[in-house]
């Protein structure tokens, strides 16, 4: 069994490849994750800030060169009772049809990489929309205020409020898995909701950031 990079009473972080680590972990109530979409250099981010995609060094873009293979998703679905997977429209050929798509409306039309993002879910219930603008914290969701200084630590970091909203949509879940953890937003949201989470991240610099967020 691989040793945790970080662990507290709510969150465990592993540094490594999720394909090697997940088979050792058991089952989870919810898979909540934002995997690489496979956009690579086709990703042309908008905005004027230094953290936008077009201004990032190539090493920061490398994580999104290839989407996970079907075998990886099959593994992740096999160890989770339900799933919320951001970027689901990029993987629609790999998942069964479901009713409950989640949409993050960024409320900045034409100025970001996309006007909205979509998550495939395993739920057969009504589709839902979340409105949140990262640039000025406007929108609606539980816990919608973002901590200062964290918005730009990962090139595709999701807002904390979005992940809090996802957990609220998921309902009565106690254990959460994020195998593409990035800077740890899923873990932070799980901890804020008094859930237990396991995060897996292959880049150690993001494990360090995630561990710092968990310890706060």
Which of the listed ranges 67-76, 110-119, 152-161 does the model predict with the highest average pLDDT?
67-76
Query: Residue 161 pLDDT > 60, yes or no?
Result: yes
Whether 1 is covered by a domain: the verdict is: no
pLDDT band at 109 (very low <50, low <70, confident <90, very high): confident
Residue 108 confidence (pLDDT)? 76
* Total domains in the fold of the chain: 1
- Average confidence (pLDDT) over 154-160: 84
User: Is residue 165 in a domain?
Assistant: yes
Distance CA 76, CA 108 (A): 33
Tell me the CATH number at 86.
3.40.50.150
Place of tokens 């996970």: 68
The three-class DSSP label of residue 122 is: coil
* In the chain, % of residues over pLDDT 90: 66
Structure confidence at residue 41 (pLDDT):
55
Closest Cα partner for 83 from 180, 211, 1, 184?
A: 180
In eight-state DSSP terms, residue 1 is: -
Could you tell me which residues come within 8 angstroms of residue 97 by beta carbon, excluding any fewer than 6 positions away? Answer: none
- Domain limits at 48? 6-215
51-68 per-position pLDDT tens digit: 455 555 554 555 566 789
pLDDT at position 71 over 60: yes
115: its two tokens: 């006007």
Output the pTM of the full model. Answer: 0.85
Average pLDDT, the chain: 85
Whole-number pLDDT of residue 107: 84
Q: 3-class DSSP state for residue 161?
A: helix
Q: What are the C-alpha distances in Å from 64 to residues 38, 43, 57, 67, 182?
A: 5, 9, 13, 7, 12
Q: Measure the N-to-C terminal CA separation of the chain; round to a whole number of Å.
A: 27
pLDDT tens for 10-54 read 999 999 999 999 999 999 999 999 999 887 655 544 444 444 555
In a domain, 100, yes or no: yes
Confidence of residue 149 (pLDDT cuts 50, 70, 90): very low
Q: Which residue matches tokens 């809090």? A: 164
């Amino acid at each position: 069994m691989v040793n945790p990079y970080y662990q507290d009473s709510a969150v465990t972080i592993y540094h490594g490849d999720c394909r090697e680590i997940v088979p050792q972990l058991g089952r989870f109530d919810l898979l909540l994750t934002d995997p690489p979409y496979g956009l690579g250099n086709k990703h042309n981010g908008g905005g004027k800030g230094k953290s936008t995609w077009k201004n990032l060094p190539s090493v920061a873009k490398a994580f999104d060169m290839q989407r996970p293979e079907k075998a990886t998703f099959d593994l992740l679905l096999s160890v989770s009772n339900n799933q919320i997977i951001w970027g689901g429209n990029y993987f629609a050929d790999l998942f069964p049809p479901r009713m409950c798509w989640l949409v993050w409306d960024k409320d900045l039309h034409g100025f970001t990489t996309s006007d909205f993002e979509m998550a495939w879910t395993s739920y057969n219930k009504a589709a839902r929309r979340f409105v949140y603008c990262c640039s000025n914290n406007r929108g609606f969701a539980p816990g919608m205020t973002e901590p200062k200084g964290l918005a730009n630590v990962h090139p595709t970091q999701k807002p904390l409020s979005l992940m809090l909203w996802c957990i609220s949509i998921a309902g009565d879940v106690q254990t959460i898995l994020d195998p593409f953890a990035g800077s740890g937003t899923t873990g932070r949201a799980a901890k804020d909701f008094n859930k237990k989470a396991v995060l897996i991240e292959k880049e150690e610099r993001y494990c360090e950031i995630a561990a710092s967020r968990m310890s706060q």
